């Protein structure tokens, strides 16, 4: 974690979710020399840069929820639950904090492949 913070010139934030992501990566039996690079890729490419309460990602998520499941969106609004209160661990850890190891590995593999394909120029 120290090396990562020094390389990126950032301070470690306790609630960033980085430890959860790193713990999940370590469970995937990657070669030791790849762990840092995988962690670096996740924190720079796949985790939103901004996950604090006022981040735009939560506004976007709320709009998507309103569109795809208006009933749940309305229910959460009636309970006065803004997306940050329940979705922060989803975004800050790319679901690592919310699902078991095998599900997380499968989701991450699909997500990485989807991002890789969307970056291809045809």
- Please give the pLDDT value at position 42: 87
List of residues 6+ apart from 58 with CB closer than 8 A? 82, 83, 84, 87
Do 40 and 4 share a domain, yes or no?
Answer: yes
Per-residue model confidence as pLDDT tens digits over 86-114: 999 999 999 999 999 999 999 999 988 88
Task: State whether 5 and 63 are in the same domain.
Answer: no
Q: Are residues 5 and 42 in the same domain?
A: yes
Do 101 and 117 reside in the same domain of the chain? Answer: yes
Give the model confidence (pLDDT) of 4-45 as tens digits. Answer: 888 888 888 888 889 999 999 999 988 988 999 899 988 888
- Pure H helices in 29-82: 32-41, 56-68, 70-78
Alpha carbon of residue 53 to chain centroid: 15
Residue-number span of the structural domain to which 10 is assigned: 1-47+95-122
Q: Are residues 1 and 38 in the same domain?
A: yes
Closest to 95 (Cα-Cα) out of 85, 86, 104: 104
């Amino acid at each position: 974690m120290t090396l990562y913070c020094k390389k990126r010139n950032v301070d470690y934030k306790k609630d960033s979710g980085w430890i959860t992501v790193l713990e999940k990566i370590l469970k995937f039996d990657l070669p030791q020399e790849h762990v840092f690079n995988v962690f670096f890729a996740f924190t720079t490419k796949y985790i939103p840069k901004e996950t604090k309460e006022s981040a735009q990602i939560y506004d976007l998520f709320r709009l998507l929820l309103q569109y795809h499941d208006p009933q749940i969106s309305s229910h959460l609004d009636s309970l006065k639950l803004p997306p940050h209160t329940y979705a922060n661990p989803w975004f800050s850890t790319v679901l690592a904090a919310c699902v078991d190891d095998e599900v997380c590995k499968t989701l991450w593999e699909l997500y990485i492949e989807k991002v890789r394909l969307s970056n291809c120029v045809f």
